[in-house]
């Protein structure tokens, strides 16, 4: 049994802005089911939603700052969660990264430096918890300083650093390094320095014992200039400790048979009931209720990564096609406005909801026929997996985890019943439109469509397989 400290900046259902929270809320559960002693650690944000009891268990002083450790449980599980409580830094409205107006926290480097320092104290049994870690599993730049700080400790646990997204690196001016009072020996080009800037993610990449990312294809892509954001050299140098482990999905939350957020549960043997979810989604989205029109959906952070510009470029042609489109997302303000403008012009074709809405996300997965995910890059992506579980056919660009989890509907895969989606290669509006037309054509052939749905719903996206791969990695180090 390994003692694992799992550090992340967001954990579902306590706090979530994207897929990292889904992973941090479900991988530890899967590791606990493999009988590991796993503890999750995250900051005690004001916006945390918790249904479990919380109790104070210790206080720690580090770099002249005080923090409390609060203990709670991951809802409906026995997994222990430690909340790093420092009201001066975390007791503010907004989300972990931005304030209520969407501006990055000016003190974001201070916030996550304190968090990393406390993770180190906890991992090395200096937080009065009578527990020390064998392995610290860090996730994304917010935890990047942990492997760096541990590298200068004597008796240190092993470290794994998982990259969920190379596009976010936690870069700050050199002066921030001094202001944070970080150990001077970490400042060099093979350490935290990146072109005279402080790079949090480099702390993970340069010092962790193992680096993973969330799909095998993305593990290769980030070793190239197109996806590596200047760190491709370091990553290809580290290729022997770098691997891709595909994310699983939380079947307790994302199963159409038991989903309490949707109008009518259904499964592979009662697929005909999916239509009830379609008509109620159309009704709640103020679209004409029409069982036979192909209904498209999208749920996403509205940022460049997700290929939203491709969608915007296609919308004018899409409204001339026989389809409807339900979109839920938030992010880039100008994208939000363009989408809303379009929906106002074509209310019978497009419904746009700006904001974050978990219930609606489930209703979209259950209600739509086709899910759009034309990402420019996608480390793993979860919605294409959720879609497949719900018999909703994803259209994806062939990149990262999308390439690893979708079998394109081509004559051969259709003939041998392995097709589960539609994919396209070029990140261009033309290629996306072709894929949309292909989907509409396939949808009109009810027999083929049902075959694709069935193959998609049968796929195994459970966490168990991936959790075992992480465990093998922990055992290696």
Position among 19, 204, 294, 429 found at the interface with ligand GLC (CB under 6 A): 19
- Residue 4 binding partner per list ligand ADP, ligand GLC, none, with a CB distance cut-off of 5 to 8 Å that depends on partner kind: none
With binding defined as CB under 6 A, does residue 380 bind ligand GLC? yes
With binding defined as CB under 6 A, does residue 23 bind ligand GLC? yes
Q: Are 157 and 136 in contact (CB under 8 A)?
A: yes
Stretch that binds ligand GLC, among 14-22, 100-108, 118-126, 358-366 (CB under 6 A): 14-22
Residues 239-278 that bind ligand ADP (CB under 6 A): none
Q: How far apart are CA 7 and CA 197, in angstroms?
A: 24
Position among 199, 253, 300, 453 found at the interface with ligand ADP (CB under 6 A): 300
Q: Residue 240 pairs with which residues in a beta bridge?
A: none
Radius of gyration for the chain, computed over Cα atoms and rounded to the nearest angstrom? 23
With binding defined as CB under 6 A, does residue 215 bind ligand ADP? no
Q: Residue 299 pairs with which residues in a beta bridge?
A: 328
With binding defined as CB under 6 A, does residue 379 bind ligand GLC? yes
Position among 77, 279, 280, 357 found at the interface with ligand ADP (CB under 6 A): 357
- Residue 329 binding partner per list ligand GLC, ligand ADP, none, with a CB distance cut-off of 5 to 8 Å that depends on partner kind: ligand ADP
Position among 36, 247, 285, 420 found at the interface with ligand GLC (CB under 6 A): 247
CA separation, residue 226 to residues 86, 232, 352, 403, 405 (Å): 39, 9, 32, 16, 21
End-to-end CA distance of the chain: 14
With binding defined as CB under 6 A, does residue 336 bind ligand ADP? no
User: Considering beta carbons, is residue 250 or 408 the nearer one to ligand ADP?
Assistant: 250
Question: What count of residues does the chain have?
Answer: 477
Q: How far is the CB of 395 from ligand GLC (least distance, A)?
A: 16
- Residue 314 binding partner per list ligand ADP, ligand GLC, none, with a CB distance cut-off of 5 to 8 Å that depends on partner kind: none
Position among 208, 299, 366, 396 found at the interface with ligand ADP (CB under 6 A): 299
Task: Give DSSP secondary structure letters for 347-403.
Answer: TTTEEEEES--HHHHHHHHHH-SEEEE--S--SS-SHHHHHHHTT-EEEEESSHHHH
Could you give the angle at the alpha carbon of 77 between the alpha carbons of 130 and 267, nearest 5°? 155
Size of the site for ligand GLC (CB under 6 A): 14
Q: How far is the CB of 22 from ligand ADP (least distance, A)?
A: 5
With binding defined as CB under 6 A, does residue 246 bind ligand GLC? no
Q: How far is the CB of 451 from ligand ADP (least distance, A)?
A: 26
Q: Residue 316 pairs with which residues in a beta bridge?
A: none
Given the DSSP bridges, would you call strands 65-73 and 55-62 parallel, antiparallel or unpaired?
antiparallel
Q: How far is the CB of 334 from ligand ADP (least distance, A)?
A: 17
Asked if the peptide bond before residue 179 counts as cis, ω within 30 degrees of 0, the response is no
What token pair was written down for 104? Answer: 């990055």
Q: How far apart are CA 394 and CA 439, in angstroms?
A: 9
User: Considering beta carbons, is residue 113 or 212 the nearer one to ligand ADP?
Assistant: 212
Position among 18, 94, 216, 347 found at the interface with ligand GLC (CB under 6 A): 18
Q: Residue 242 pairs with which residues in a beta bridge?
A: 211
Q: How far is the CB of 166 from ligand ADP (least distance, A)?
A: 12
Residues 187-226 that bind ligand GLC (CB under 6 A): 214
Edge-to-edge strand list for the sheet holding 422-424 = 350-354, 324-331, 295-302, 370-373, 393-397, 422-424
Residues near ligand GLC (CB under 6 A) are 18-20, 23, 164-165, 214, 247, 378-382, 401
Residues near ligand ADP (CB under 6 A) are 18-20, 22, 299-301, 328-330, 356-358, 361, 380-383
């Amino acid at each position: 049994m390994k003692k694992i400290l799992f550090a992340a900046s967001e954990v579902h259902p306590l706090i979530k802005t994207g897929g990292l929270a889904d992973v941090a809320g479900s991988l530890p559960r899967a590791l606990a089911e493999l009988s590991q002693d796993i503890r999750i650690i995250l900051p005690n944000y004001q916006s945390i939603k918790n249904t479990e009891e919380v109790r104070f268990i210790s206080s720690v002083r580090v770099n002249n700052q005080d923090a409390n450790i609060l203990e709670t449980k991951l809802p409906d599980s026995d997994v222990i969660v430690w909340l790093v409580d420092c009201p001066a830094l975390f007791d503010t409205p907004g989300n972990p990264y931005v304030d209520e107006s969407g501006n990055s926290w000016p003190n974001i480097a201070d916030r996550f430096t304190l968090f990393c320092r406390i993770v180190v104290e906890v991992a090395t049994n200096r937080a009065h918890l009578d527990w020390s870690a064998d392995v610290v599993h860090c996730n994304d730049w917010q935890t990047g300083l942990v492997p760096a700080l541990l590298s200068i400790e004597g008796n240190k646990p092993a470290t794994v650093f998982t990259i969920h997204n190379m596009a976010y690196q936690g870069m700050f001016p050199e002066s921030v390094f001094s202001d944070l009072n970080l150990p001077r020996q970490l400042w060099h080009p093979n350490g935290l320095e990146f072109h005279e800037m402080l790079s949090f993610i480099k702390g993970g990449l340069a010092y962790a014992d193992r680096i993973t990312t969330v799909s095998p294809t993305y593990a290769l892509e980030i070793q190239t200039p197109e996806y590596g954001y200047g760190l491709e050299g370091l990553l290809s140098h580290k290729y022997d400790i770098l691997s891709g482990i595909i994310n699983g999905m939380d079947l307790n939350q994302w199963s159409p048979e038991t989903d309490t957020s949707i109008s009518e549960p259904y499964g592979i043997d009662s697929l005909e009931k999916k239509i009830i979810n379609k008509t109620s989604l159309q009704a709640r989205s103020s679209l004409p209720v029409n069982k036979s029109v192909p209904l498209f959906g999208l749920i996403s952070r509205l940022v460049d990564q997700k290929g939203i510009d491709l969608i915007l470029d296609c919308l004018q042609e899409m409204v001339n096609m026989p389809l409807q489109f339900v979109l839920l997302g938030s992010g880039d303000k100008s994208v939000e406005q363009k989408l809303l403008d379009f929906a106002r012009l074509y209310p019978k074709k497009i419904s746009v909801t700006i904001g974050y809405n978990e219930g609606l996300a489930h209703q979209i997965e259950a209600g739509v026929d086709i899910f759009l995910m034309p990402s420019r890059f996608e480390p793993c992506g979860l919605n294409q997996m959720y879609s497949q579980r719900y018999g909703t056919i994803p259209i994806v660009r062939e990149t990262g985890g999308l390439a690893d989890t979708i079998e394109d509907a081509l004559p051969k895969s259709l003939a041998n019943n392995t097709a589960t989606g539609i994919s396209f290669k070029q990140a261009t509006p033309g290629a996306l439109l072709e894929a949309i037309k292909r989907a509409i054509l396939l949808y009109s052939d009810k027999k083929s469509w049902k075959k694709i749905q069935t193959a998609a719903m049968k796929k195994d996206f459970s966490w168990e397989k991936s959790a075992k791969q992480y465990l093998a990695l922990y055992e290696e180090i």
